[in-house]
Amino acid sequence: MAGKFDNSKDIKGKVALITGGTTNLGGATAHDLASLGVNLFLHYRTNQAAAEKTQKDLQAKYPDIKVEIYQGALTKASDLTKLFDAAKAAFPKGIDIAINNIGKVVKKPLIEVTEEEFDELDLVNHKVAFFFLKEAGLKINDNGRIVSLVTSLLAAYTPFYSPYQGTKAPVEFYTKALSKELGERGISVNAVAPGPMDTSFLHGSETKEAVGYLASVGLNGRLTEVSDIVPIIRLLVSDGAWVTGQTVFASGGFTAR
């Protein structure tokens, strides 16, 4: 039986699972949701010290919420199952918000991409995203909110990013399909496509000249900031819950469609 859609703006007391949830955009999203009283289950891959610091800082600043951290590589479908099962074990009332930040980029001509590079991108950007959505669809509470982070490069006509674009692109279609499949349970499913973001993720894969160009084509001649994207994620998991099946481009005009 279909459940009644809950468009409540108040997400205090809800539980959010966030992959890559202790640094960059994931960490900023965690802090933002914590300020609204959301309990957190934060995944990280390798940097335990940073994860523990994030947990300690959040718990000290927001003592009324519970913050759990979880380490994992997420290379197999079973890893995603374990992630969601661990979150449900930590929060027996279940998961209300699921946000996937995982991503990897390689910038080079298509004809120079190695099989090893392709397989790694396909794993991180595609396989993990698919099985994250599957597990979220199976285990998120009714009236839950699911958000995947993709890229504004999905709307770009450009060289050198084909394996990144190609392995992120399927997430749009999974988002649309899953939003239809889960609609009767009141669950919204969306993707957010940021522009080139001023984080270590960008600076680690681009030259100084390329970063300068990417900044020059954005609104006010700057890169996308983490603070530009966090409110959009907040909107999708709270006030904007009526939005579903969409990819929201937030790139300062870098790309649009």
DSSP 8-class letter at 224:
B
What is the pLDDT, as a whole number, of residue 7? 60
Residue spans of beta strands (DSSP E) within 22-139: 39-44, 67-71, 95-100
**Residue 4, Cβ neighbours under 10 Å: how many?**
8
CA–CA dist 79, 53 (Å, integer): 24
What is the pLDDT, as a whole number, of residue 1? 40
Beta bridge partners of 16: 40, 97
What is the pLDDT, as a whole number, of residue 6? 64
What is the pLDDT, as a whole number, of residue 10? 86
Listed in sequence order, the residues at least 6 apart from 168 whose beta carbon sits closer than 8 Å to its beta carbon are: 103, 125, 126, 129, 150, 151, 153, 154
CA–CA dist 157, 153 (Å, integer): 8
Residues in the chain with pLDDT < 70? 1-8
What is the pLDDT, as a whole number, of residue 148? 98
Per-residue pLDDT reduced to its tens digit, 200-249:
878 877 888 888 988 998 999 999 999 999 999 999 999 999 999 999 99
Q: For residue 201, give the nearest of 128, 253, 151 by alpha carbon.
A: 151
SS3 call for 164? helix
Residue indicated by tokens 């479908």: 77
Domains of the chain, CATH where assigned: 15-250 (3.40.50.720)
What is the pLDDT, as a whole number, of residue 207? 84
Cα dist from 12 to 136, 148, 242, whole Å = 20, 21, 18
Listed in sequence order, the residues at least 6 apart from 134 whose beta carbon sits closer than 8 Å to its beta carbon are: 77, 80
CA–CA dist 144, 121 (Å, integer): 28
